[in-house]
Amino acid sequence: MSHLVDYCAIYLLLSLLNLIFIAGIIFFSYRIFQERRLKNAADARTQALIDDVATGFSLKEEEKTPQNIKDLLTKLAEFFRAETVLIHSTDERFTELLGSVHYSAGGKVISLEQQRTYMERWDSHLKQRSHSIDSMLYKDMATQDRIRRKKHNPWLFIPLYNEDKVIAFIYIEASDQGRAWSEDQFAAVPVVSRIVSDSIEKVLSQKHISFMTYYDPMTKLPNRHHFYDRVERAIANARGNKTTVGIMYLDLDSFRSINDTVGYEGGDLIIQSIGQKLMTLLDSTENVARFGGDEFLILLESGSDLRKITRITEEIMSIFKEPVSLNGQEIFITACAGIAVWPFDGEDAGTLIRHADMAMCTAKEKGKGRYAFCSPYIREDMQYRMNLFNGLYRALERNQFQIFYQPKIDLATEKIVGTEALLRWMHPDYGMIPPSDFIPLAEQSGLINPIGDWVLETACRQTMSWKSMGLGDLRVAVNLSVVQLRNPNFVAQVGNILKRTGIDPGIVELEITESAMTTEPDYVIGVLNDLKNLGISISIDDFGTEYSSLNRLKMLPADSLKMGIQFVQGIEKSKKDQAIAVIIVNLAKNLDLKIVAEGVENRLQLNFLKNMMCDEVQGFYYYRPMPASDMVKILL
């Protein structure tokens, strides 16, 4: 009986243990189930957040990014059950994109104390974790261990990147200061960071491309393409409102010299400063554009009052009365401007800008710090000069140039002793073009070099032809341009022409004006000495009319002076001109230079010059410039 009792007790004990074991299995199974359920729920919440963020930032459109970020903060506040969720920019590009330095979920006001607190925490965060660790969050054991220790901090950061540089961070502060962050909450941090960073990087890249397309990177002003669009919109509005639109083309004076003085970096700073002044004056970032180099375009929306355009123009020009400060140094700058007005000067942006440029060039011709309005005369003149400029390139090969010769008279014998070769252009549309119209264009284009060579060789050949006809050993004078003197091959070319034509260098005279000596005088003197060594003569043309310098005159290897025509023609009108003529003649005599007077038109002028012992004259009183064929008639 006792054994039966013992067996029953053992059976009951085993049954109890079995029940306990089964209960334990059920308990732990349920617990695992619950943990998995909670984890699955947490994972689902995390995945839902990530999906939501990915969807919101998938379009990568600049205009939607600020709102997407604000929506993100609201979602993060809910996901992290946080009292404070805010974003703070650490880069001006992101600040511009967001529209502010910081923003809090729901637009909550951030106090200065809160700003100091989260910025101190952010600084501490940066000291403990490098950017590379942040970007590889949860990728190594050391970082995971660091994060586990941070679980009990009531705050965390989500850094945002652009090209591996932190441009902003999201600060999250828990509502319950004693609650630890969960693993799923930490797991969301790097994913959110990566999604938002990728989206922002693409938006900023697109923004940069768009900026480079429509804005000048140095001044941040609109470029010409953006300005063209802006003008076309302004014209459309003016057409509907029956008003006017003005375009100003502004060009800084002598800016190359300024660059040479302050360097290109200093020049860039000056350009930026002027651009800023123009924006401030016009109170607009869209009505001022950098056209290129030292040129600006300005849109003048005046309503219907043209006087307002003039007033605004005066205000714009007045900004150049004040110097630009550069590294503590005051730099005074002037500018010239041209203004074209719709609809009078053009129907579209391109035409208006081109005509404003024409007006600006006209203003520059009058001096520094000037402005001019476009006019029919300016347009016609610029078209005329453009046609001449284009025609010059073919004029030589099409035999459109002619040389006229004006005889020089020895006053002692009143006989022809030489000629001056004068270039004329017989244009197919405009007829005979005076040198004053086309020589400056030839100098600008560099065509003066081949044209000048042709003139010298043709004049030398013609002089040798007259000699072969038994018409005497006439001297021939040819005018030189300063551009020719700066041609390093010029002396050699002159020497070759002398050899090809067989002319005696002693009867060849090259005339230069005093202005040729204003820049690089030592170089010019060296070239003149080299020409003298070839055996030719040097004459100073129009003496007394430009930059006369006695010190420069004594250094020049000159053989003769030509008195300016205005002094000759003023002899009968002004005692001052008579006095100047006397001074020039005496100066030439004392320097042992031959003196020649040009522009003699009457007997009174001639007698005065004879009395002053002038050596030679030329002018209409004796002969006008004439073709070579007519010269033969008077030499026979």
pLDDT reading at 235 higher than 50: yes
pLDDT digits (tens, 9 = 90+) for 497-525: 999 999 999 999 999 987 777 777 888 88
The pLDDT value given to residue 10: 74
Helices 183-214 and 224-241 cross at an angle (nearest 10°) of 70
Neighbours of 589 (CB within 10 A): 16
Q: Side chain identity at 384, as an amino acid letter?
A: Y
Residue type, 229: D
307 or 410, greater pLDDT: 410
- Report pLDDT for 44: 67
Q: Are the CB atoms for 300 and 286 separated by under 8 Å? A: no
Quote the DSSP letter at residue 64: G
Mean pLDDT of 227-256: 87
At residue 50, does pLDDT exceed 80? no
* Predicted local distance difference test score (pLDDT) of residue 24: 67
Measure the CA–CA gap between 59 and 636, rounded to whole angstroms.
93
Residue range 379-399, pLDDT digits in tens: 788 788 888 888 998 999 899
As a whole number of Å, the end-to-end CA separation of the chain is 176
Tokens linked to 25: 């299995």
Q: Which of 85, 55, 60 is nearest to 73 (CA)?
A: 85
**Which element (helix H / strand E) includes 431?**
strand 431-433
What pLDDT is stored for residue 145 in this prediction? Answer: 45
Q: What is the pLDDT of residues 402-453, one digit of tens each?
A: 999 999 999 999 999 999 999 999 999 999 998 988 998 899 888 999 999 9
Higher per-residue confidence, 109 vs 584:
584
Note whether 512 and 490 are within 8 A (CB). no
Question: How far is the C-alpha of 550 from the C-alpha of 542, rounded, in Å?
Answer: 15
Set out the domains of the chain in order of their start, with CATH numbers.
Answer: 53-213 (3.30.450), 219-374 (3.30.70.270), 392-635 (3.20.20.450)
**pLDDT in the model for residue 38:** 52
The pLDDT score that the predictor gives to residue 146 is 47
Confidence bin at 140 (pLDDT 50/70/90): very low
Spatial neighbors of 556 by CB under 8 A, at least 6 apart, are 517, 525, 528, 538, 540
How would residue 93 be classed by pLDDT, with cut points 50, 70 and 90? Answer: confident
* Residue, of 148 and 190, whose pLDDT is higher: 190
**The pLDDT of residue 621:** 93
More confident residue, 525 or 101: 525
Q: Which two tokens stand for residue 526?
A: 């060296």
Question: 406 near 625, Cβ under 8 Å?
Answer: yes
Q: Between 135 and 478, where is the model more confident?
A: 478
| pLDDT(136) > 50 | no
pTM, two decimals, is: 0.61
Cβ atoms of 341 and 298 within 8 Å: the answer is no
What is the pLDDT at residue 548? 60
Question: pLDDT, tens digit, for every residue of 453-487?
Answer: 999 999 999 999 999 998 888 999 999 998 999 99
Q: What DSSP character marks residue 61?
A: -
Evaluate if residue 559 carries a pLDDT over 70.
yes
Rounded to 10 degrees, the C-alpha dihedral 299/300/302/307 comes to -160
Mean pLDDT score of the chain: 83
Average pLDDT of 126-140? 51
pLDDT, residue 60, reads: 58
pLDDT tier at 144, thresholds 50, 70, 90? very low
Three-class HEC string of 328-342 = CEEECCCEEEEEEEE
pLDDT at 292: 82
Q: Is 299 helix (H, G, I), strand (E, B) or coil?
A: strand
How many percent of the chain have pLDDT more than 70?
87
| pLDDT (average), residues 290-316 | 83
User: Among candidates 409, 443, 442, which has minimal Cα distance to 425?
Assistant: 442
Mean pLDDT of 15-20: 74
On the question of pLDDT at 131 being above 50, the answer is no
